[in-house]
Amino acid sequence: MSDFQPARNHETLGDAFFDRVAPAAFPQTILRHRDQRWAARIGLDGLSDADWLAHFGRFEPLPGSLPQPLALRYHGHQFRSYNPDLGDGRGFLFAQARDLADGRLLDMGTKGSGKTPWSRGGDGRLTLKGGVREVLASEMLEALGVYTSKSLSLVETGEQLYRGDEPSPTRSSVLVRLSHSHIRIGTFQRLAYLDDTAGLRQLLDYAIAHYYPALDGVADPAAAFLAAVTTRVARLGAQWIAAGFVHGVLNTDNINITGESFDYGPWRFIERYDPAFTAAYFDETGLYSFGRQPDALAWNLTRLAECLVPLSSIDALEPALNQIWPVFQDELPRQMLRRLALVPHGDARDGEFVTALFGFLTTSQAPYEQMLFDWRGGVASVERAARSPSAGFYASEAFRPIADALEGYQSADDNNLGHAYFARQRPRSMLIDEVEAIWAPIAADDDWSGFAAALADIAEMRQAHGLG
């Protein structure tokens, strides 16, 4: 660990922001996944499996980082009902470190690491299936260009768990998530709920110092911070749409201040363009459906703005908050054209093209990911698209306006169409049936070959997309 650069920054906020807790003592620690690429980014790729399990299964402190895990305190709106009894109920902040590539602060947060003062009667555990799903979600999203947390480690823990939404008893696990911050909108909401203006100021100063240092010294830090967070969250919403991803639970405690997607429970990818598609069976009104995700993000950002009023003014915060729609409207065409490896025109034509594209996808119900795969590079992929399983959709009269618009776009230099991935007939996808097919042999026979094959497939896709 000679390259590891530990940090303890979150401790400086003080005990009012977290509870020092102990990890659960698990009967087993079996390593199921370690992300070596990101381990290298923090100088931990040289750990032996035994040392890895000591730190990420038994949570022995990493040298120089936090001496004891911190269960973070926060509140939040859950399906728009305020809940003041949240907080890290089955996770904690285990360690912090510096990214060796860019020097940014990274958190190592857990999921399934045992009970805390915020467990609310829960067992503080994570099912192994839930852990597998989180790894698959974060790996897919990274490969599709979404700013996401990384699943650094998954360890099976040898306990039998009982859950109402899957066959029980079921196997258990603990996940370590790597992300740039675990400070959420709900962290600010808790302080506003408590009328703790001094705490709000302290949290804002910390957030600017560690995540938005360019804002240091601005005249109205609260308004500048809101504008910066709004920009990042709007970009994230556009990235989700471009990836065909439905998070499923966009509560305010699931939106962090770095605009980084995290905490994957009932997520789904869409098979065909459907704004009403929901990921969570309990989302009966479609509040967090695919097409309503930008609205959900805007609603959540409004809650953040309300928290910051004591540190600024409504007149200053309102224009910062209102940036969300112009940013989203600019970002959505940019993200869709990035998926297609096309050079944007940089004017209204980009938005018009994407609107037409979504119109075609709606009426034709052509497979979403297949279409983006087939037409990467635009007209440079005419022959590829003609060999696609979806070629019939492209031969239709309804596709002609899309084909004409593609003629006007230049293929990006980094389209990477010579990569072996683009010689395939079908792209790597992660629809619910595919997730279940990966899980079934694990559950039945402890056969992890499908999981390993899926991760290898995703890695090839990430490289083909030029994302490392």
pLDDT at 1 over 90: no
**How far apart (Å, rounded) are the C-alpha atoms in residues 264 and 279?**
11
Please compute the mean of the pLDDT values over residues 120-145 and round it to a whole number.
97
Task: Indicate if 131 and 11 belong to the same structural domain.
Answer: yes
Catalytic residue chosen out of the listed positions 35, 88, 107, 253: 253
Tell me whether residue 199 is in a domain: yes
**How far apart (Å, rounded) are the C-alpha atoms in residues 346 and 197?**
42
Task: Indicate if 208 and 313 belong to the same structural domain.
Answer: yes
**How far apart (Å, rounded) are the C-alpha atoms in residues 129 and 263?**
14
Tell me whether residue 1 is in a domain: no
Three-state SS annotation for 377-406:
CHHHHHHHHHCCCCHHHHCCHHHHHHHHHH
Q: What are phi and psi of 120, to 5 degrees?
A: 50, 45
pLDDT at 168: 84
Domain hosting 244: range is: 186-332
Task: Indicate if 357 and 379 belong to the same structural domain.
Answer: yes
Task: Indicate if 203 and 275 belong to the same structural domain.
Answer: yes
pTM of the complete model:
0.97
Task: Indicate if 191 and 177 belong to the same structural domain.
Answer: no
Summarize pLDDT for 258-291 with one digit per residue, the tens.
999 999 999 999 999 999 999 999 999 999 999 9
**How far apart (Å, rounded) are the C-alpha atoms in residues 201 and 48?**
42
Of the candidates 134, 166, 182, which is a domain's last residue? 182
Does residue 253 carry a catalytic annotation?
Answer: yes
Record the tokens describing residue 46, joined without a space. Answer: 């040289």
Task: Indicate if 195 and 307 belong to the same structural domain.
Answer: yes
Summarize pLDDT for 425-435 with one digit per residue, the tens.
999 999 999 99
Run of H or E residues at 226: helix 221-243
Summarize pLDDT for 324-347 with one digit per residue, the tens.
999 999 999 999 999 999 999 999
Task: Indicate if 323 and 423 belong to the same structural domain.
Answer: no
Of the candidates 289, 306, 332, which is a domain's last residue? 332
pLDDT at 166 over 80: no
Summarize pLDDT for 2-51 with one digit per residue, the tens.
799 999 999 999 999 999 999 999 999 999 999 999 999 999 999 999 99
Q: How far is CA 209 from CA 9, 312, 386, in A?
A: 10, 18, 52
**How far apart (Å, rounded) are the C-alpha atoms in residues 269 and 165?**
20
Task: Indicate if 447 and 405 belong to the same structural domain.
Answer: yes
**Domain count within the chain:** 3
Identify whether the C-beta of residue 184 lies closer than 8 Å to the C-beta of residue 256.
yes
Task: Indicate if 211 and 298 belong to the same structural domain.
Answer: yes
Task: Indicate if 409 and 359 belong to the same structural domain.
Answer: yes
